[in-house]
Structure 1
Amino acid sequence: MTLPPRRPFGVAITGLGLVTAAGIDAETGWERVCSGQATASRDPELAGLPVDFSCRVPDFDAGALLGAGSAWRLDRFTQLAMVAARQAVADAGLDPDTWDGTRVGVVVGNSLGGTATLELQYRRFLEDAPKSVSPLMIPMGMSNMVAGYLAIDVKAFGPSMVTATACASGATAIGLARDLLRSGACDVVLAGGTESALTRATITGLQRMGGLSGRGEDPAGASRPFDAARDGFVAAEGAGILVLERPEDARARGASAYAHVVGFGSSSDAYHATAPDPSGAGMERALRAALADAGVGPDEVDHVNAHGTSTPLNDVTEGRVLRRVLGGRPLVTSTKGVTGHPLAAAGAVEAGFTALALHHGVVPPTANLEQLDPEIDVDVATGAATAAAMEIAVSTSLGFGGHNAALVLSAA
């Protein structure tokens, strides 16, 4: 059964909060991404492991940013999201003390939860007996609690939930948030993703499954999306939160928008636990669904912020799909060359960068891309940031489990 197409519906991005290895705010992160300067470096917390480098958020002081009384009871993945959410709300010119919280929702993508907390408390359990385990272990470690804590912090009494589609989680959250606004269930939704899983056990697990780059002699050059010499991704942490509203509501209160989210598509490969379907059929379905949802033709897309993980399988598959669906016209980039791969936060962070690209008319370069893989036949931005007139952009996300998601954004 084929469902009839829905009338195109766009939501305004009126606030951005980006906390990444490129910077602790959207402006700093955008400047670093446009510089093409990679952030990966040796990580003292991973010393002695086969992969001892990552992309951590620099100089992140949760106590200073959130207050010591709040920060100590939150795992880092929630701390990052809360800082990003406060930034986004302030950027949108909204005030939780005066808005109608019953009309405000929260949708956040997360995959691994509070791994740092869970690993620490398990060590205490093994070494010091049960009485040393924190009574906050469960609320700090549960994935859903990031949405719960954000709702508490910003007095959002509407729907509050977490999406878990691995590295597509942030994009999935934005798509679901848009549906909450379309349905009339909410007037404002805080949507995005967060992840902080740079622990010794998690990094070891990713390394053992063959996902990570082994370029230990050159960490800064390890994340190299679409490059012929890529050998895996660089694990990162980060959070991206977007404030979404119906455009007419934003205009009514005099707010401006960075861009509009006008289309969303998702699909499942139903192929393999961790490897993408080499045919790209699942990703293609998600991308075509997003374009149809937006009422946009493939030849109208000007820019793509690709998933571009720097893994051998993902980049070839994604490149083939982009060529097959969009042709050679869009200017493609992967900001993971700078930020590394923030896992569940990736789709939201990259949606934020895509909105900024439309807003500024600039496409960031793909860091560390020295020689394009000959199997990838798309126009990839390299070297320096490129000024470009753009109306329509796409952000793609893929995740373990065969999850695919695509967002279509339009200039405001």
Structure 2
Amino acid sequence: MTSLPVIVGFGGYNAAGRSSFHHGYRRLIIDSLDVQTRQQTLANLAVLMGLVSVTQSAQNTYEDLQGNELTLEALDAQYGDTILDSTLVRRIESSYFDVDASRWQQSVIIESSEASPIEFELPKKQLPSVIPDNWHVEELDARKVKVQLRQAVEVKLDSVRDFVVKGAGQFPTGFEPSEKYASRFHPRSLQMAILGASDAINSTGIPWQTIADSVQPDEIAVYSSNIMGQLDEAGLGGMLQSRLQGKRITSKQCPLGHNSMTADFINAYVLGSVGGTASITGACASFLYNLKAGIDDIQSGRRKVVLVGNSETPITPEIMDGYASMGALATAEGISKLDEDKELDLRRSSRPFSTNCGFTIAESSQYTLLMDDQLAVELGAKIYGAVTDVFVNADGLKKSISTTGAGNMITMAKAVSSAVALLGKEAVQKHSFIQAHGSSTPLNRVTESQIYHQVAQTFGIEQWPVAAIKSYLGHSLATASGDQLVVSLGVFEHGVLPKISGIDHIAQDVLDEHLDLPMEHIQRAPEEWKVAFLNSKGFGGNNASAVVLSPFVVKDMLKKRYGADTMEQYESRVGFTQEVAQAYDLAASNGELNVIYRYGEAAIDESKVEITEQAVSLPGYAQAVALPQTHTYADLLVAATKE
């Protein structure tokens, strides 16, 4: 029987906070939560942001920066508004860069001539190794020279300018990933890969060593990437800037800048894995591309455990300059025009399916642990859902690389058709929802709504609920569908599909006859949601759509596969693993993130690796790696020999 790729753990961080145990999801729907859950959500964020710490006297008592003890109610009253204002999409904070005075180099032409030269003095040691042709150098003494410039010269001056884009989806204010482990000058996205992967692993409640010992070492895989690489100063950004800034390139900037490094770091410093690994990129569909590789591995039987994710931290002036020059980002001027020059509201810079002017860039790190269903049952892993299909199609011939094409129509039609074949039409018609790409560009709102309209019309869907979470979180590029997935798991748990935030109307050119584009949360009993469709339209024609089943559907499937007695035993094991998982959640909510960083641990002693014709045995690994004993194409040679 084909293995079912079930989700047994998930975690990460984005503008809503920590993803595991649905904390980030609850920030999106905080206005629909009961008082106690709202206050617990705010407290979790307050600790993450460093506003309060947990006192030893009681688990629900907190201490503020002045040493005052706070109850949950007092914390809400004192910090509630601050926390809400310091999460989700908002004005870019000065810890990233000053959007009103962004540093740049201004070119200036200084006129000079034979009659009126420019003169200045320099220490000899500062003379360039090659003297420019228009320099006349006169020695003043053993240490100094005088330089005359007798022609016009272009110089670069340190200056500042107003940055046209002022909003982004940033991690909660005060959350500093480099402080959570010995980061050793790692680029920010690698820091977040370590934190996100750790959160996902810890969320299972099963020690990683237990999971690893349950399978052969090469039955584990990691698929992780980002599309911009590491372009901050500690990565490729610093390497490319060094010559122009007169600095030395460090030995780490080039290797740590590779976009495969998120997977490499997880293998080397989180899991200690010798299994499969890859960094698959497909622009904004990258998470789903990696997810497809993961589920294909499990369905084929090649792997039993796969960690899938992305870590993207693109809030830098250089990256944002690049997207702004394309006209892709929502600028302050564009937002002001939308609001008829009212006060600039950067909280509403991302407006999917409404009148809009561009997307809002964001940072996020999201990781999901997939497991073969039989192994999940044996280990007692809690099942949050399952991914049955990810469809990927390109756009074909295009007028330009940035225009849309037919690829996303194919992926969405395949996804819905697949779900209908599995669950029946009624389940899709009445119990499904879409996680839209919803990038908030004028072109996207038209083309994506047309796709959903046509697919809905074809499959008889009358009012198809559509979520567009970039309205809360912004667009985290490679990680965008990772954000979609963790929110979908929250919907399966709590039943609330988040409204499209910050919009007050649907644009006239949006085709919404068969769509429900909600401006209020859609609240149902959790078990009424059976399937989510994650959709991503990536730049250049990278389209992907995924089918995610709810845990209620998955458990029904597993009962049919394994029988009631086996599933009853499984539920008792889940109770134990969830006690461990909840202990981690409590510790993380109290500020102890338990980041897994295994730098400095003993590496594999290659001299003790044993190889036979049947297997490779590695020191420190419970099981050996089996070597192939048969071959798929052996029959062809046998047939050829007989002929």
Normalised TM-score (structure 2): 0.59
What runs of 5+ residues in structure 1 fail to find an aligned partner?
1-6
Aligned equivalents of 1:155, 1:96: Cα separation in 2: 10
1:382, CA displacement in angstroms? Answer: 1.9
1:373, CA displacement in angstroms? Answer: 1.8
Farther off after superposition, 381-390 or 143-152: 381-390
Q: What residue is the counterpart of 2:169 in the other structure?
A: 55
Q: What residue is the counterpart of 1:11 in the other structure?
A: 5
Preserved contact between residue 174 and residue 348 of structure 1 (Cα < 8 Å): no
Preserved contact between residue 8 and residue 262 of structure 1 (Cα < 8 Å): no
1:87, CA displacement in angstroms? Answer: 0.7
Aligned equivalents of 2:488, 2:443: Cα separation in 1: 24
Aligned equivalents of 1:224, 1:35: Cα separation in 2: 19
Preserved contact between residue 19 and residue 486 of structure 2 (Cα < 8 Å): no
User: Are 2:494 and 1:366 equivalent residues in the alignment?
Assistant: no
Preserved contact between residue 104 and residue 156 of structure 1 (Cα < 8 Å): yes
Aligned equivalents of 2:517, 2:319: Cα separation in 1: 31
Aligned length: 397
Aligned amino acid, residue 521 of structure 2: A
Q: Compared with structure 1, are the counterparts of its residues 170 and 177 closer, same or farther at alpha carbon in structure 2 (3 Å cutoff)?
A: same
Aligned amino acid, residue 197 of structure 1: P
Q: What residue is the counterpart of 1:283 in the other structure?
A: 408
Note the alpha carbon deviations across 1:239-275, whole angstroms, 9 max, x for none: 1100001222211111121111112111011323122
Q: Per the alignment, in what secondary structure is the counterpart of residue 223 of structure 2?
A: strand
Q: What residue is the counterpart of 1:4 in the other structure?
A: none
Q: Compared with structure 1, are the counterparts of its residues 291 and 158 closer, same or farther at alpha carbon in structure 2 (3 Å cutoff)?
A: farther
Aligned equivalents of 1:139, 1:245: Cα separation in 2: 31
State percent identity of aligned pairs: 26
Q: What residue is the counterpart of 2:371 in the other structure?
A: 245
1:287, CA displacement in angstroms? Answer: 1.4
User: Are 2:156 and 1:31 equivalent residues in the alignment?
Assistant: no
User: Are 2:254 and 1:260 equivalent residues in the alignment?
Assistant: no
1:46, CA displacement in angstroms? Answer: 4.8
Q: What residue is the counterpart of 2:349 in the other structure?
A: 222
Aligned equivalents of 1:394, 1:382: Cα separation in 2: 20
Q: Per the alignment, in what secondary structure is the counterpart of residue 303 of structure 1?
A: strand
Q: What residue is the counterpart of 1:3 in the other structure?
A: none
Aligned equivalents of 2:304, 2:416: Cα separation in 1: 24
Larger Rg: 1 or 2? 2
Aligned amino acid, residue 189 of structure 2: F
Output aligned runs, 1:202-221, within 5 Å.
202-214=319-331, 215=335, 217-221=344-348
Aligned amino acid, residue 267 of structure 1: N
Aligned amino acid, residue 35 of structure 1: I
1:360, CA displacement in angstroms? Answer: 2.5
Q: Compared with structure 1, are the counterparts of its residues 348 and 25 closer, same or farther at alpha carbon in structure 2 (3 Å cutoff)?
A: closer
1:158, CA displacement in angstroms? Answer: 1.1
Aligned equivalents of 1:24, 1:158: Cα separation in 2: 28
Q: What residue is the counterpart of 1:124 in the other structure?
A: 242
Q: Compared with structure 1, are the counterparts of its residues 354 and 365 closer, same or farther at alpha carbon in structure 2 (3 Å cutoff)?
A: same
Aligned amino acid, residue 482 of structure 2: A
Q: What residue is the counterpart of 1:376 in the other structure?
A: 511
Q: What residue is the counterpart of 1:405 in the other structure?
A: 544
Farther off after superposition, 282-291 or 84-93: 282-291
Q: What residue is the counterpart of 1:74 in the other structure?
A: 186
1:60, CA displacement in angstroms? Answer: 2.9
Output aligned runs, 1:137-286, within 5 Å.
137-152=253-268, 153-214=270-331, 215=335, 217-227=344-354, 229-270=355-396, 271=398, 272-277=400-405, 281-286=406-411
1:234, CA displacement in angstroms? Answer: 0.5
Aligned equivalents of 1:9, 1:368: Cα separation in 2: 41
1:304, CA displacement in angstroms? Answer: 0.8
Farther off after superposition, 268-277 or 239-248: 268-277
Q: Per the alignment, in what secondary structure is the counterpart of residue 548 of structure 2?
A: strand
Q: Per the alignment, in what secondary structure is the counterpart of residue 251 of structure 1?
A: helix
Preserved contact between residue 111 and residue 166 of structure 1 (Cα < 8 Å): yes
Aligned equivalents of 2:425, 2:391: Cα separation in 1: 14
Q: Per the alignment, in what secondary structure is the counterpart of residue 107 of structure 1?
A: strand
Aligned equivalents of 1:320, 1:346: Cα separation in 2: 21
Q: Compared with structure 1, are the counterparts of its residues 406 and 22 closer, same or farther at alpha carbon in structure 2 (3 Å cutoff)?
A: same
What runs of 5+ residues in structure 2 fail to find an aligned partner?
32-83, 100-161, 337-343, 552-643
Note the alpha carbon deviations across 1:188-235, whole angstroms, 9 max, x for none: 1001222111111110111110111122622101111111x2111110
Aligned equivalents of 1:75, 1:265: Cα separation in 2: 32
Aligned equivalents of 1:403, 1:359: Cα separation in 2: 30
Preserved contact between residue 355 and residue 409 of structure 1 (Cα < 8 Å): no
Deviant stretches of 4+, over 6 Å: none
Aligned equivalents of 2:382, 2:359: Cα separation in 1: 36
Aligned amino acid, residue 54 of structure 1: A
Aligned equivalents of 1:408, 1:361: Cα separation in 2: 18
Normalised TM-score (structure 1): 0.91
Aligned amino acid, residue 254 of structure 2: I
Q: Compared with structure 1, are the counterparts of its residues 109 and 330 closer, same or farther at alpha carbon in structure 2 (3 Å cutoff)?
A: farther
Preserved contact between residue 106 and residue 189 of structure 1 (Cα < 8 Å): yes
Aligned amino acid, residue 206 of structure 1: Y
Aligned amino acid, residue 416 of structure 2: L
Q: Which structure's relative contact order is higher, taking Cα pairs within 8 Å and 6+ residues apart?
A: 1
1:42, CA displacement in angstroms? Answer: 1.9
Q: Per the alignment, in what secondary structure is the counterpart of residue 166 of structure 1?
A: coil
Aligned equivalents of 2:373, 2:277: Cα separation in 1: 22
Q: Per the alignment, in what secondary structure is the counterpart of residue 536 of structure 2?
A: strand
Aligned equivalents of 1:218, 1:9: Cα separation in 2: 48
Aligned equivalents of 1:320, 1:35: Cα separation in 2: 31
Q: What residue is the counterpart of 2:638 in the other structure?
A: none
User: Are 2:206 and 1:94 equivalent residues in the alignment?
Assistant: yes
1:9, CA displacement in angstroms? Answer: 6.0
Preserved contact between residue 8 and residue 293 of structure 1 (Cα < 8 Å): no
Matching residue within 335, 338, 346 for 2:472 = 338
User: Are 2:522 and 1:392 equivalent residues in the alignment?
Assistant: no
Q: Per the alignment, in what secondary structure is the counterpart of residue 209 of structure 2?
A: coil
Aligned equivalents of 2:3, 2:518: Cα separation in 1: 30
